[in-house]
């Protein structure tokens, strides 16, 4: 999967700079999400890739071919869905991280903000389609198990 999405950098240097700055913010949040269970990593990686596609072809190419982030971006670009079996894990980790976070926070207003954020993320996750495995993917999955 080495094809590139059809997005190209913006014509305006100011807009390219804004896209790049926002891309770095999204990538930073994605990296924080690796360590903080309350931040979802994958959506921020996808957002960073989209922003870099409009801001810097070289940064977008770097993410597209990155050993860890590349497959996530390419899979989403190709299928616009989640692989089977991922959604239950995502819901479980989402619930666990928000339950723990809400239980250790003392301020009621912050608990309510976290609850609202958790419900919003759960609704988004619920709406993401689950794709069917191709015959090749199904065969590969069965041989790995």
pLDDT at 42 over 50: yes
> Do residues 73 and 22 share a domain?
yes
- The verdict on residue 1 lying in a domain is no
Distance CA 66, CA 70 (A): 5
Same domain, 28 and 65: yes
Is the pLDDT assigned to residue 65 strictly greater than 70?
yes
Count how many domains the chain has. Answer: 2
119 and 134 share a domain? yes
* Residue 21 belongs to domain spanning: 13-79
Tokens of 72: 């996530």
pLDDT band at 2 (very low <50, low <70, confident <90, very high): very low
Note the pLDDT tens digit of each residue in 125-138.
899 898 887 656 65
Is residue 35 domain-shared with residue 91, that is, in the same domain? no
* pLDDT value of residue 86: 80
Residue 7 included in any domain: no
- DSSP state at residue 6: S
Q: Are 114 and 69 found together in one domain?
A: no
Whole-structure pTM over 0.75, yes or no? no
Q: Give the tokens for residue 101.
A: 């976070």
Residue carrying the six token digits 């971006």: 73
Distance (Å, rounded) from C-alpha 34 to C-alpha 106?
24
Same domain, 44 and 96: no
């Amino acid at each position: 999967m080495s094809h590139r999405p059809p997005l190209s950098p913006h014509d305006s240097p100011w807009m390219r700079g804004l896209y790049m700055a926002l891309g770095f913010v999204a990538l930073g949040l994605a990296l924080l999400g690796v360590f903080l269970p309350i931040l979802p990593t994958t959506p921020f990686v996808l957002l960073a890739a989209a922003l870099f596609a409009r801001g810097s072809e070289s940064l977008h190419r770097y993410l597209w071919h990155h050993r860890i982030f590349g497959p996530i971006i390419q899979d989403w670009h190709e299928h616009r869905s989640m692989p089977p079996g991922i959604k239950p894990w995502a819901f479980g980790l989402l619930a666990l991280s928000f339950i723990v976070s809400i239980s250790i926070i003392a301020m009621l207003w912050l608990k309510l903000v976290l609850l609202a954020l958790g419900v919003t993320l759960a609704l988004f996750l619920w709406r993401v389609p689950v794709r069917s495995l191709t015959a090749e993917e199904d065969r590969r999955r069965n041989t790995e198990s």
